[in-house]
């Protein structure tokens, strides 16, 4: 069986003490399907960046992209499950981990924003590459967005190394399970809210009409 060192070399992933620590954290805390998804997000995001002429280490900090992608779904783990939407919980966990590791505050902020915004359609592409490519990689792996821009045979190589063990990296049931336990994790208009709504989860999710109709009621 190919070990982690071989995988880092095979895909020319940034091999530093920090990326090793982050890789170990993701694979220890996440279900294997979700951890595989996290690595694929990095590999697809980096490849999509290269298709746009963005070279790792030149146009952006490749170590930060790796960290953001590997930790972008940590809010769906037991360790990262708080009272906020999973993207923000994951961003906070990542920031805390990086702070403890001695990473500079400005670099931590990049990772926080990349994770917190990775499901926010239309916003990440307007931001710095580490943030844009985290979101692009997630979109490619979950929904096949921009997959036609990946090099021929590249997706097959990635999937052979990090198999798609469950649809969508197994994150759907993790998102819904969290919301069932705590509906506050699905604010109106967010991806968690929409996933729960479409799946018909038995959760008291307010509609836009209910929220607007109830606002300032009784005030002259």
CB 65 within 8 A of CB 42: yes
pLDDT digits (tens, 9 = 90+) for 111-144: 999 999 999 999 999 999 999 999 999 999 999 9
pLDDT digits (tens, 9 = 90+) for 36-69: 999 999 999 999 999 999 999 999 999 999 999 9
Identify the top-confidence range among 4-8, 25-29, 190-194, 198-202. Answer: 25-29
CB 154 within 8 A of CB 47: yes
Write the CATH number of the domain with boundaries 4-164. Answer: 1.10.3210
CB 147 within 8 A of CB 43: no
167 burial via Cβ count (<10 Å: 0-12, 13-18, 19+): exposed
DSSP state of 198: H
For the full predicted model, state whether its pTM sits above 0.85. Answer: yes
Any alpha helices (H) in 52-190, and if so which ranges?
Answer: 62-71, 86-100, 105-116, 129-143, 154-161, 171-181
First to last CA, the chain: 71
CB 42 within 8 A of CB 61: no
């Amino acid at each position: 069986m190919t070990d982690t060192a071989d995988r880092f070399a095979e895909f020319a992933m940034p091999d530093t003490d920090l990326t090793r620590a982050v890789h170990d954290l993701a694979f220890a805390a996440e279900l294997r399907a979700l951890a595989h998804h996290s690595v694929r997000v990095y590999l697809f995001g980096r490849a999509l960046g290269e298709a746009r002429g963005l070279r790792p280490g030149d146009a952006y900090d490749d170590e930060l992209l790796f960290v953001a992608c590997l930790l972008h779904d940590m809010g769906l783990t037991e360790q990262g499950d708080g009272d906020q939407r999973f993207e923000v919980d994951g961003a906070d966990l990542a920031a805390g981990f990086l702070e403890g590791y001695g990473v500079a505050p400005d670099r931590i902020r990049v990772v926080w924003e990349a994770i917190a915004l990775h499901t926010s359609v239309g916003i990440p592409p307007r931001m710095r590459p580490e943030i844009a490519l985290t979101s692009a990689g997630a979109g490619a792996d979950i929904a096949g967005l921009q997959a036609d821009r990946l090099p021929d045979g590249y997706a097959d190589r990635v999937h052979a190394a990090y198999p798609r063990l469950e649809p969508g990296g197994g994150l759907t049931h993790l998102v819904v399970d969290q919301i069932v336990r705590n509906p506050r994790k699905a604010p109106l208009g967010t991806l968690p809210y929409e996933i729960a709504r479409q799946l018909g989860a038995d959760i008291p999710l307010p509609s836009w009409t209910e929220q607007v109709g109830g606002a300032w009621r009784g005030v002259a």
